[in-house]
Chain A
Amino acid sequence: MSILHVQDLGASIASISPLSGVSFDLERGEIIGIVGESGSGKSLTAMSVMGLLPLIGGRVDQGTIEFDGVELTKISESDYRKLRGGRIGLITQNPMTSLDPLKKIGSQVDDVSLLHLGLDKAGAKARTIELLSDMRIPEPASIYHLYPHQMSGGMKQRIVIAMALAADPDLLIADEPTTALDVTVQAQIIRLLGDLVKKRNLSLVLITHDMSVVAQTCDKVMVMYAGTAIERGPVQEIFDTPQHPYTKALIACIPHEIAGGERLKGIEGTVPGVAQYPSGCRFHPRCALAGDICSKDIPTFEKGGKRAVACHFALEAS
């Protein structure tokens, strides 16, 4: 059974609907990449699963989120609070702002196991030091007493990961965990996350704008555009035979060593804001293949099955 099953998820904030039509499954020990440009709804999807939308005045108003058999859209805030930081861990984008600058990092990690595992202070400290060493942090016992400003960005992100893992979660949601980091540090963190997933049989939702990170780490991928899912499938298939014109164009935007002098192609136009979502398929104004139907009917995101695509003119798998 899937650890996470999201079906036709939609969310609203006040009178706008920035998210709709998101469906995916995640098995134990699997990594799914959610990829898209800014404003595509990746982070809103994560916030919906974490039950954090009320923080920004929003709510889930469509679909279901099933976590290990429990329907999350129906549970109370106090039950959610037990899950968050407990069985579901969150790694945020910016390690510079997700740690409390006034507290020693050790006690910040301690708090998680004090709250969720009911350990005593000494037990929590021992657990924290063990976690820090699992994060390949040198000299964890002395790092325990440092403040966040005394550490580099990569080190801070390891602390954030340690906090997310402190209560032994089943599911980890990482929202752009390496975007604020340098390339060599990014490589370290991505490697660490991959190893942790294997070692602890975790499930990971990896949110990123970087198709290369997806290619190197994920088992499957969901591509989002303007607040909705447009394509989903096993990572190799998505790269080999993208069926949505946007997915294909997005892959063509990645600069890499070019054989035969093929030049980089951008996608004309920009991602529309929530207030300017076009009718029908939201990608149609930028799509080279768009026909009359694309501006009228919203293409359905086929549910079930490994692959899904929301396009009236889905490209043939060839």
Chain B
Amino acid sequence: MTTLLDVKNLSKQFTSGGGLFRPVRSMHAVNDVSFSVKAGRVVGVVGESGCGKSTLARLVLRLIEPSSGTVQFEGIDLLALKAKPLRALRARMQMVFQDPYSAIDPRFTIRDAVTEPFKVQSAGLTSKQTNDKVAELLSVVGLSDQLAKSYPHQLSGGQKQRVGIARALALNPDLLVLDEPTASLDVSVQAQIISLLEKLRDELNLTYIFISHDLSLVKYFCDEILVMYLGRVVEALPDTRAPARHPYTRTLLDSTFDPDPKSRRTIEPLAGEVPSPFDLPSGCVFAARCSKATEKCRSQLPVLTAEGGHPVACHNPL
């Protein structure tokens, strides 16, 4: 399998304040993240709100500029590209957004929304070609081409997300970054969208980066999983059956409810809440909430080290 995407030491800081009486404060939204994605794989990125997963998604496509680090797509350094070649390369990597209600311009018809990528890329399609493309794309995502003339408000949430996927597929990409594509949908519709994504991956040889806060969904859908906490990858599960080695991953798994009354268990919930990203602790970012934390954890930052192909950033892995 060839490596499609290679991310090394990627970081992004945001700053706030800087007024007359306010000092500039900076937060590390993404902190020294490295991973690679092999062609045809589904890589899940999981974590709670504020862990940096959506920022990571945007960095990977260079929708925002990183503070440091590199992103290579098939060996091409994305960050060195000027606007034009970057735009050309973006045709091969597309994104599906979380909220289908705001991801599509309300004044665009579905036809306009789905064909916008061709305009951006100056593909110069004739009207006939455009019609054919729209019909083809809508049928790929399971929508009737009758909907082409509709506006987003006339569609249900699930239909809108299908339009979002159709638009992402318009330019025949290799990589799709899916940022919580089902978070705002009902479970029955979520299941439809997930099975559509499974079908498309097989038919179109797609590679996915799947961002989600839902660990059971990630375990169901993905081949490998990155667990993020406060901007850092704390564990990279090489497959979904690998046992958790980081205490945070363990807690996430324990906090996930099983849909079976027979396997009811007493959950020992994690104490405390995620610390402020403006004020990161000096040692392990999870130490304050970890039951296994030692003095070393509080003073020394653990690095992500691979042992037996299962990287974990922890001084006392499980």
The interface of chain A, by Cβ under 8 A from chain B, is: 37-38, 152, 154-155, 182-188, 190-191, 209-213, 215-216, 235-236, 239, 249-258, 263-268, 270-271
Is B116 in the interface zone, CB < 8 Å from A? no
A-B residue pairs in contact (CB < 8 Å), sample of 26: A37-B189, A38-B186, A182-B213, A184-B255, A188-B269, A212-B259, A215-B258, A216-B257, A216-B261, A250-B188, A251-B259, A253-B188, A254-B259, A255-B191, A255-B194, A255-B216, A257-B219, A264-B194, A266-B188, A266-B190, A266-B193, A266-B194, A267-B188, A268-B192, A270-B188, A271-B186
Interface size on B, residues (CB 8 A): 44
Contact with A along B69-85 (1 / 0, CB 8 A): 00000000000000000
Q: How far is the CB of A99 from chain B (nearest CB, A)?
A: 17
Residues of A within 8 A of B226 (CB): none
Q: How far is the CB of A183 from chain B (nearest CB, A)?
A: 5
The answer to whether B189 touches A266, judged by C-beta atoms less than 8 angstroms apart, is yes
Closest residue on chain B to residue A235 by CB atoms: B261
Q: How far is the CB of B127 from chain A (nearest CB, A)?
A: 32
Is B252 in the interface zone, CB < 8 Å from A? yes
Residues of A within 8 A of B194 (CB): 255, 264, 266
Residues of A within 8 A of B262 (CB): 236, 239
Q: How far is the CA of A235 from the CA of B262 in the complex (A)?
A: 10
Residues of A within 8 A of B260 (CB): 215, 239
Sample of 12 further A-B pairs with CB below 8 A, known A256-B258, A271-B186: A154-B273, A182-B48, A182-B49, A187-B267, A212-B256, A212-B257, A215-B257, A215-B260, A250-B187, A257-B240, A266-B193, A270-B157
Q: How far is the CA of A184 from the CA of B213 in the complex (A)?
A: 11
Residues of A within 8 A of B251 (CB): 184
A266 and B259 in contact, given A187-B270, A209-B187, A250-B187 (Cβ under 8 angstroms): no
Residues of A within 8 A of B198 (CB): 263
Closest residue on chain B to residue A192 by CB atoms: B269
Residues of A within 8 A of B159 (CB): 270
Residues of B within 8 A of A252 (CB): 191
Which residue in B215, B216, B219, B257 is a CB contact (below 8 Å) of A213?
B257
Near A by CB (< 8 A), chain B positions 211-260 give 213-217, 219-221, 240, 251-252, 254-260
Which residue in B220, B255, B261, B273 is a CB contact (below 8 Å) of A258?
B220
A270 and B158 in contact, given A188-B269, A249-B188, A255-B217 (Cβ under 8 angstroms): yes
The answer to whether B213 touches A266, judged by C-beta atoms less than 8 angstroms apart, is no
Is B107 in the interface zone, CB < 8 Å from A? no
Q: How far is the CA of A266 from the CA of B269 in the complex (A)?
A: 31
Q: How far is the CB of A286 from chain B (nearest CB, A)?
A: 8
Closest residue on chain B to residue A216 by CB atoms: B257
Which residue in B49, B158, B220, B273 is a CB contact (below 8 Å) of A255?
B220
Closest residue on chain B to residue A219 by CB atoms: B261
Closest residue on chain A to residue B248 by CB atoms: A184
Rank and list the top 3 A-B pairs by shortest CB-CB distance, nearest first.
A266-B192, A266-B191, A212-B257
Is B156 in the interface zone, CB < 8 Å from A? yes
Q: Name the residue in A211, A213, A256, A267 with the highest tally of chain B Cβ atoms < 10 Å from its Cβ.
A: A256
Residues of A within 8 A of B158 (CB): 270
